[in-house]
Amino acid sequence: MLSHLALTCVLLLVTFFVARRFVRDSHKLDGFTQKHVFITGCDSGFGNLLARQLDRKGFKVIAACLTEKGAADLGAAASPRLKTLLMNVTDSASIRRAVEFVSREVGERGLWGLVNNAGRAMPIGPTDWMQLEDFTKVLDVNLLGLIDVTLQFLPLLKKARGRLVNVASVLGRLSLTGGGYCLSKYGVEAFSDSTRRDLHKFGIKVSIIEPGFFKTNITNSDLISADLKKLWARLPQETKSSYDATYIEKYKHMQDFYLGFLCNSDISKVTRCMEHALTARYPRTRYGAGWDAKLIWIPLSYCPSFVVDFIMSVLLPLPKTVRIN
């Protein structure tokens, strides 16, 4: 009898929290046509789709692209209301110029939304294949660039009591590979948490987007494989000798299999989370995007380390001379 009562109570609690989240999520703001949103990394992928998506919704979108082609293509695909500019998140002077441009656009209204989306993944691979500059290439874009952009745009966000949306990853919860990518995304999570608490008193809400694996340039198997071959080619013989000659092919084969199985082609699942963070009256602190994020990686991140270590050892090949004790 007691067990049935306990089960009923648990089910009621779960139902209550699910219903509460649904109700909170359904409350939306209005007046989008008067709100400015600045998005980084809009040449392709999530940033490009989000810019077009918000433009259709009536937002005044300012999209930062790295290349002139990216800016031109996006401008041609959107309404005249959307504006583009060139910005490199690793260049503070470039960011300052963007702040000046956006400041003129938003005036005293301030900036409603800042979406830190720009990122890179490579080089990734085994840690002992890396050099220090391999880490800094990724950290400069994904973490230090994100921090620089945030700090420089904060005065405009404060004016509007707006929204800060940072794109992290499920790999900010689980470190699945060597290189700077996972490190940078862990850093985005930590920076976002501290920033959220610091800015709460100014009315600014901070949300973290944690996508699983989606088909973008970051998960392009051919690009990753080509980069791995470059890393292998420059390794000292001593390091190569600790692996067998076929390791890189086995690594590529398993990588292709898992990316093919996991990667979702519907990147709107991610941009819908971004849009909700900008338009909801009660945005979530974290948004898991993709079936693999919700069913595999996020639950796995709560498991004991030995469980995660075992699963990771199954996902990637071992060097020929290595055995698990």
- Our CA angle for 145, 147, 149, nearest 5°, is 70
Residue 219 and residue 172: Cα distance in Å, rounded? 16
Q: Which residues are tagged catalytic? A: 181
**Which residue type sits at 187?**
G
Beta strands in 251-299 (DSSP E): 286-289
Residue 287 and residue 99: Cα distance in Å, rounded? 27
Residue 215 and residue 213: Cα distance in Å, rounded? 7
Instruction: Choose among 283, 24, 22: nearest CA to 166.
Output: 283
Residue 140 and residue 113: Cα distance in Å, rounded? 22
The answer to whether 133 touches 180, Cβ cutoff 8 Å, is no
- Return the number of other C-beta atoms located less than 10 Å from residue 258's C-beta: 16
User: H helices of 117-236, where?
Assistant: 132-139, 146-160, 180-199, 221-234
